Structure 1
Amino acid sequence: MTGIAALLAGLGVVGIGFGLLSALLALLQPFTDPYWILGNLVLGILLLGAAVVMSLDSLRERVRSGGGRRIGKYGSSAIASTVLGLVILGLLGFLSVRYSHRFDLSEAGVHTLSAQTTDLLEGLDEKVSITAFFLESEAPAVRDLLDRYAYASDKIDLSFVDPNSAPGLVQELGLSTEDLAKGVVRISLSSGEATTLTEFSEPAITNALLKLVKSTGKKVYFLAGHNEREIESAEPREQGFASGPDSWGRAADALVNETYEVESLILATMQDIPEDASAVVIAGPTRPLLDAELQALERYAERGGALFVAIDPRARTNLNGLLRNWGVELGDDVVVDRALAVFGQATTPLAGEYDGHHPITKRLREPTLFPMVRSVQPDPRATGNYTVLVKTGRESWAERDLDAWRNTGRAEFGPEDLPGPVPIAVAGTPRVARETEPGEPDDASGQDPSADGSDAEAKPGRLVVFGDSDFATNEFLDALRNRDLFVNSV
């Protein structure tokens, strides 16, 4: 084989290799041009053919000189090796596509979808089509994010369309030239419902998908009237939720983005918690509740209601006794952590020790921060099934001598303090029993509840208790994983 023929043969092999590699990439990259694949293969075959034609005389001479047998032997071996290599390459390509796994090596997990997005995608029960209209040169900016959605669920059918190559589809969907200039993402269900996005952040895409597939119709009530954190703006001119740094306006808006309805609840004007309440949030009260309000909360828990309670250290509230009856103990203390303090504030600890199995915390990887938080522990004598959700660091402790701390301005770990890791949030399903003595008639039925051996306890409710309400205020909700922790808890 002459030098030129050998060069052509080498280039032919390279061309065929590029063609096969492009074919594999086409399975992963929607914008891979099929003509590029075909061109590489055809060019490679032509170059190899030209090399063979140019070497015919040399091959005939080798055959006449008795080298044909060696040529056949080594040629067959080369062909077999080539075929085997191509088969292995194809098998590896198939396995990489069929059983691929992604690793996020970034320290902050920036290439990982949030817990809310992952839970939503795992819960999909129908096919969802996501069509991205982008010029090929602009697609990489959003491709990575949308690829994560498609990778997380086999219910997602993702496709990228160049608007210039599909004018009929663009016209059919009524997409404007102005929007197409920036890019458009269209999400549609098999039922025909669809929405169009021109913002491509994960919250925007997830919220749009959530509103399409998971309209809950559920309502969350925020208890009011006891100086709780506000969710509604106090300014008549302001629309929407409260915007002050100490309010819970963003927390309420986060629930709206999860398709919940939210509303303030003045319980003193009602006999009971409304029947349409899927959850009641009690955020940082500093004044006591009326006895009738406490009884209404008890009845709500008895009928299986869900309660989210966040009470700050030394808050003047009478909810402590009610929570104690349900098996949750609020410590009269403040957590101090000089090792994991935020901006040097020992009373604003980072908490990153989560329960790895509970639905609220199992997907949390980054810490949350809690400005001025108290300890929260399950009562070991409680009949309810409680889980400690969050603990502070091992170097922290719950300072109980608060008066001495206030007078001296110094806090040191003492024998009366609770050593770390300090539990600061619990969740459980307490069983609420009626407070009747054996043989005493039940008020509702007029009969002894124990006479027939039936269980006097009601069906379980759901209770989540935090020792701080600052963590979900407008100022801190978007710090680290505070938002995820709050939304998961409700």
Structure 2
Amino acid sequence: MLLIPGVALIAAWIIIEGQRNNWLGQRSTQAGTNALLATLAVLAMLGLINFIGARYHLRTDLTETQLFSLAPQSRELVRNLKQPVKIWIFDVNQNPVDRDLLENYRRQSSKFEYEYVDPQAKPGLAKQFGVKEAGEVYLETNQQRKLVQVVNQSERLSEIRLTNRLQQITSGTSVKAYFLQGHGESQLTAGENSISQAAKALNDKSFTTEPLNLAQISEVPKDANVIVVAGPKRALFDTEVKALQNYLNGGGNALLMIDPDTEPKLEPLLNEWGVKLDTRLAVDVAGSEALGPAVPIVTEYGKHPITKDFGNGISFYRLARPVDTTPVNNIQATPLLLTRPYPSTWAESDQKSEKLEFNEGQDRKGPLTLGVALTKKLSTPTPTSGESRLVVIGNSDFTTDGLFQQQLNGDVFLNSVSWLSQQDQQPLSIRPKEQKNRRVNLSVAQTVLLRSSALFILPFVGFIGAGLLWWQRR
């Protein structure tokens, strides 16, 4: 409060003394005054810049893959929050990378908060959340609390898990995916021929997964959002096929993953949709030497919501069959997975031959379609949907444990189920952002040349230039 009067008194004293002694008119005084005013102006500008910087934040991510920015799905979800949410991190250590990620979320909405808690200092709060170990991260909103993940030195906070858990707890809806069982399909529990990793990934994306035995109940449950048929080894009963047909005709959605060595007797259903499964085996002689020719590598994808962000990423399918489509009224088909053209790939009819070669008239030249997405408009829309959706892939092996997490295999499955669920606001799979390797690898000769240039050539050029300049001016 006394600062302003004090400054005013000092200014008045300077003016009075200057008029009495006439030192304000001296040249030295004027130069000093100009320097003082310039210094004060610079300090004022720096203070103003610091004030604006403290009140308003401006960040620009210049990395090629946007390593330090949230995915579009995350930004949209947080900006549209209708109730406050809070992230609780029960850990003593505050990792700066995790804090940066949480700050990115917080900047999107004032309804997003986070707090680090020492579980030893606040054991009562930790007990309320049921904390069992340090590093547990919880999401809380409207008295609901869900575990997101456990962070430690080897595992940092994941945007994928946080966004999907945020979607699950804020939407308040449960999306149910049933996995058909009873015909040798892949199992949901860990073990041989298991897709437990795929099932867990769906659970992390707010899906509820359950096995389904149609032979026992003869109809698809009313709460089914998606039916997944993962690699049946034996044929379905006619009643089961009819139940799937009725489900799809009533606005249902299904993912059929059919391997080339099986015949599930799904022709009545597939014919309705204009889909035909080729009995030949897709081979890729220009693919990976480690995987072998029976594992087609896909880097080309159709223009569809399932694959729109895949670019030229890699997915691969061990023992796959081509999938063909024919035009059908009210059904739109979009190829999803395309192999490379012949002579790299073709459909092999003689799978027992020791010598792999293309036989005209028996085999089929690539490119081959290994997966297709179809949409069927309903003549009588249901209260929840105006269309049915179907995805058919000529392979199920890519979803099994061990292969699911490699390359884009998991993304193909997760995005297919998400699209089939018709939850249009549900975020599709968010792929981890990876920093590209920009390291320059020099040969021995290049290293020697670079070192010689720095130690000898550049200094010598400098000396020559200085000598020429001196000679010119002497």
User: Which bracket does the TM-score occupy, shorter chain normalised?
Assistant: 0.5 to 0.7
How far did 1:113 drift? Answer: 6.9
Q: Which residue of 2 aligns with 1:26?
A: none
From 95, 98, 101, give the equivalent of 1:142: 98
Distance in 1, matches of 2:307 and 2:79, equals 16
Computed over aligned residues only, the root mean square deviation of the Cα atoms, in angstroms, reads 4.1
Deviations 1:153-174 (A, max 9, x none): 536624344649x96xx36624
- Judge which range, 470-479 or 266-275, deviates more: 266-275
1:212 to 2:181 alignment = no
From 58, 61, 67, give the equivalent of 1:102: 61
Q: Which residue of 2 aligns with 1:154?
A: 109
User: Gaps spanning 5+ residues in structure 1: where?
Assistant: 1-59, 232-240, 435-457
Distance in 2, matches of 1:412 and 1:115, equals 45
Query: What is the percentage of aligned positions where both structures have the same residue?
Result: 26
Q: Which residue of 2 aligns with 1:447?
A: none
Deviations 1:243-280 (A, max 9, x none): 22x22233233333334333332323333222222221
Distance in 2, matches of 1:251 and 1:154, equals 32
From 307, 314, 330, give the equivalent of 2:277: 330
Residues 283 and 347 of structure 2 are in contact (CA less than 8 Å); yes or no, is this contact kept in structure 1? no
From 119, 125, 135, give the equivalent of 1:173: 125
1:261 to 2:222 alignment = no
1:243 to 2:203 alignment = no
Distance in 1, matches of 2:289 and 2:80, equals 36
From 410, 413, 427, give the equivalent of 1:486: 413
Q: Note closer, same or farther for the CA distance 1:466–1:373 as it changes in structure 2 (3 Å cut).
A: same
How far did 1:315 drift? Answer: 2.3
Q: Note closer, same or farther for the CA distance 1:367–1:198 as it changes in structure 2 (3 Å cut).
A: closer
How far did 1:71 drift? Answer: 3.2
Secondary structure in structure 2 of the residue aligned to 1:348: coil
User: Gaps spanning 5+ residues in structure 2: where?
Assistant: 1-20, 152-156, 418-474
Alignment of 1:400-411 (within 5 A): 400-403=347-350, 405-411=351-357
Distance in 2, matches of 1:432 and 1:248, equals 32
Distance in 1, matches of 2:393 and 2:252, equals 18
1:305 to 2:260 alignment = no
Q: Which residue of 2 aligns with 1:424?
A: 370
How far did 1:489 drift? Answer: 1.3
Residues 115 and 363 of structure 1 are in contact (CA less than 8 Å); yes or no, is this contact kept in structure 2? no
Q: Which residue of 2 aligns with 1:192?
A: 143
Alignment of 1:351-370 (within 5 A): 351-355=298-302, 357-358=304-305, 360-364=306-310, 366-370=313-317
How far did 1:466 drift? Answer: 0.9
Residues 91 and 116 of structure 2 are in contact (CA less than 8 Å); yes or no, is this contact kept in structure 1? yes
Residues 305 and 461 of structure 1 are in contact (CA less than 8 Å); yes or no, is this contact kept in structure 2? yes
Q: Which residue of 2 aligns with 1:452?
A: none
Distance in 2, matches of 1:462 and 1:130, equals 36
How far did 1:206 drift? Answer: 5.2
Q: Note closer, same or farther for the CA distance 1:386–1:181 as it changes in structure 2 (3 Å cut).
A: closer
Secondary structure in structure 2 of the residue aligned to 1:336: strand
Q: Normalised by the size of structure 2, how large is the TM-score?
A: 0.67
Residues 94 and 116 of structure 2 are in contact (CA less than 8 Å); yes or no, is this contact kept in structure 1? no
Q: Note closer, same or farther for the CA distance 1:219–1:322 as it changes in structure 2 (3 Å cut).
A: same
Secondary structure in structure 1 of the residue aligned to 2:83: coil
Distance in 1, matches of 2:321 and 2:235, equals 19
How far did 1:318 drift? Answer: 2.1
How far did 1:298 drift? Answer: 1.5
From 200, 217, 224, give the equivalent of 1:270: 217
- Judge which range, 114-123 or 321-330, deviates more: 114-123
Q: Which residue of 1 aligns with 2:84?
A: 127
Residues 356 and 363 of structure 1 are in contact (CA less than 8 Å); yes or no, is this contact kept in structure 2? no
Q: Which residue of 1 aligns with 2:37?
A: 76
Secondary structure in structure 1 of the residue aligned to 2:31: helix
Distance in 2, matches of 1:322 and 1:259, equals 29
